[in-house]
Chain A
Amino acid sequence: MKMVGVILVMAGCIGYAYQYMERIRHRILCLKGWGDIMEGMVGEIRYGRTSLPECFVRLGRQYSSLLGQCILQVGLTMEEHPEKNLEREMKEMMHGHLDKLFTTEEIEDYFLFPCFEGNQDEMMQREILDRNRETVKEALAAMKADYLGKRKMVYSIGVMAGVVLVLLLI
């Protein structure tokens, strides 16, 4: 009975650590996917001079990931209802789908760049797009670098917590 209890406690603690690491892995995958979408977006913007809603539709059709589907949805809504507010549409969509993976600040920083208002001209807007792409790249590199170290630490903490809990229970 005690053995079963020990196994269950240890499995629970390691499972919790695994879940935490999965969340980090999803964050990385999400940012990586967003980075790819942004690369496509910069190409569309620079060479095709496509408007953001059109960009969203085109790229959303290419990427079947969660973010791809989000921007596709926003693009289609904006094409159908140009009177709607892109900022609000993007916010609702991104917060609705990414709340579990990213903090509110992170969502605003990484995913809502098109909604910046107050661009004085087209050069400023392009500058902001480029800067945002760099921010996402840097965040992704930092997360990746952090990932291995964090994994070791999280699993160790999980195992240690399990051992402490087992000792306490025994």
Chain B
Amino acid sequence: MNVLRLFPEEEKSFWERVLNEKNGILSEIRLRAGREAFLYQNGLEYYIDREGRRTREKKLARVFTKQELNKLLLRLCKYSMYAFEDELRAGYLTLEGGHRVGVAGSVVMEQGKIKTIQNISFLNFRMAHQFLGMADPVLPWVYEDGGVKNTIIISPPGCGKTTLLRDLIRQISNGNAYGMGRIVGVVDERSEIGGNYQGVPQNDLGVRTDVMDGCPKMLGMRLIIRSMAPEVLAVDELGDEEEWKEIWKAQKCGVKIIATVHGEGVEKLMEKNAESFFEEAILLCRENGVPKIKGHVRLGRRDCQ
């Protein structure tokens, strides 16, 4: 789908210029009520001027009003904010094409839970890009004798963990030079891997992939193992202690795990006692603003207890 269709027809030429990717990959557009609009392309920051062009001069930048942001949000929600209630509450919207809009405003709490977000005055458009073939260099590390190894991708935020995971899922699912196609179960709590829109992944996750979308990881892992019997389970951004425990249980069921975690090195795995079942750790980093595969560490596998 043409991403331009998500934006108002009345300002077509403005958004056409903003979304122009001739000079590189557009990663983010940040709009704040009453403040200058920014966009991020090829890791560089630009202001957006009133015509939708990139500029370095602050005084030329377009300032969006709160009303304009509201109208834009309403349109992105197809004039139906109620239909995106849960997503708005979680702070983001997934759009057709897998693009995401992060939102921020005044949070309304009820009995300790987020009821809704009102007065949304900050929008962050994160443009979805799938880099097919990104996992090519890591495939030899992920496979052993045609089988998939329990693998963890470790990196600081913004280094391409999810993008790498997405391509790994696709390649494992479709099959590749290192192994035949496997059934992959994906637990996609925040629709980041598949970019699901109305239940359908907008990113190519391969032909043998089932996605449990919008479900808490812990619950999702249990569900998908029970319902879809995957050979490989993919999870993004492990965090809570409970999630690590669930991973531990999942791999006991004979499912191979591909997961990601925030961090700089394998020390994090030691903390969680997870180096015992992950066989391979792939490390990512950022060099001169560009995400890069730093290397891999072979971890010693012990028998599960």
Contacts and interface: CB of A to CB of B under 8 A. Distances in A.
Interface of A: 45, 49-55, 78, 81-86, 114-115, 117-123, 125-126
Contacts of B79: 51-53, 86, 114-115
A120 B119 contact: yes
B295 interface: no
Contacts of A118: 67, 70
Interface of B: 4-10, 12, 67, 70-71, 74-75, 77-85, 88, 96, 108, 116-119
Contacts of A122: 81-85, 88, 116
Contacts of A84: 9
B175 to A, nearest CB: 36
Contacts of B78: 51-54, 78, 82, 86
Given A52-B79, A121-B88, A121-B118, A83 B8 contact: yes
Contacts of B88: 121-122
B82 A83 contact: no
Contacts of B6: 82-83
* Interface SS of chain B: helix
A121 B8 contact: no
Contact of A117 (B71, B83, B118): B71
Nearest to B81: A122
Contact of A123 (B10, B71, B83, B116): B116
Contacts of B81: 119, 121-122, 125
A85 B10 contact: yes
26 contacts: A45-B82, A49-B83, A50-B80, A51-B78, A51-B79, A52-B79, A52-B80, A53-B79, A82-B5, A82-B96, A84-B9, A85-B8, A114-B79, A117-B71, A119-B74, A119-B81, A120-B119, A121-B81, A121-B108, A121-B116, A121-B117, A122-B82, A122-B84, A123-B116, A125-B80, A125-B81
Contacts of A54: 78
A117 B82 contact: no
